[in-house]
């Protein structure tokens, strides 16, 4: 034990790195990096009300089963300034393209998450990206 303490005193950069890593692990364990605490939009999901979002389209709309899907960067949500990304599913009849600034009204839903811990978790993937 004394050897470890002497080594840490001689190498302060290693000591700082270890302390910093330990603090990050503790913060992650207590959920400080979770999406629920960082995202304003997560607060609006549970109340099941219609949300008005004004934003810019960041991706080319892709044709999916019943319409179009694209990624948007929000400017305002219900009149409040918010800068987050959302995935929008729209009807096929709407004509939208990359770079358009549009106003969307609808309900927010959480993406599905994995039921098993070792499988790919789409919700965590989106939260990290």
Whether residue 103 sits in one domain with residue 50: yes
Domain assignment present for 65? yes
- Higher pLDDT: 112 or 69? It is 69
Whether residue 99 sits in one domain with residue 41: yes
Structure confidence by residue, pLDDT tens digits, 44-95 = 776 677 888 888 888 888 888 888 888 888 888 888 788 888 888 888 888 8
* Number of domains, the chain: 2
Question: Within 13 A of 35's CA, how many CA atoms are on the CB side?
Answer: 16
Whether residue 69 sits in one domain with residue 25: no
What does the alpha-carbon distance between residue 41 and residue 56 come to, in Å, rounded to a whole number? 16
Domain extent at residue 14: 1-33
Whether residue 45 sits in one domain with residue 20: no
Whether residue 71 sits in one domain with residue 12: no
Domain assignment present for 114? no
pTM of the predicted protein model: 0.62
Whether residue 101 sits in one domain with residue 43: yes
What b/e sequence results for 70-79 when a residue is b if at least 16 CB atoms lie within 10 Å of its CB, and e otherwise?
Answer: bbbebeebee
Whether residue 42 sits in one domain with residue 24: no
Domain assignment present for 113? no
């Amino acid at each position: 034990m004394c050897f470890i303490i002497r080594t840490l005193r001689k190498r302060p950069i290693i000591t700082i790195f270890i302390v910093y890593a330990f603090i990050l692990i503790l913060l992650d364990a207590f959920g400080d990096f979770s999406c629920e605490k960082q995202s304003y939009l997560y607060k609006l999901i549970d109340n099941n009300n219609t949300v008005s979002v004004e934003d810019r389209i960041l991706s080319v709309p892709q044709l999916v089963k019943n319409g179009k899907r694209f990624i948007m960067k929000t400017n305002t949500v219900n009149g409040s300034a918010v800068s987050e990304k959302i995935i929008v599913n729209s009807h096929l009849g709407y004509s939208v393209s990359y770079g358009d600034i549009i106003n969307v009204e609808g309900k927010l839903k959480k993406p599905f998450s994995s039921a098993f811990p070792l499988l790919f978790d789409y919700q965590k993937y989106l939260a990290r990206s």
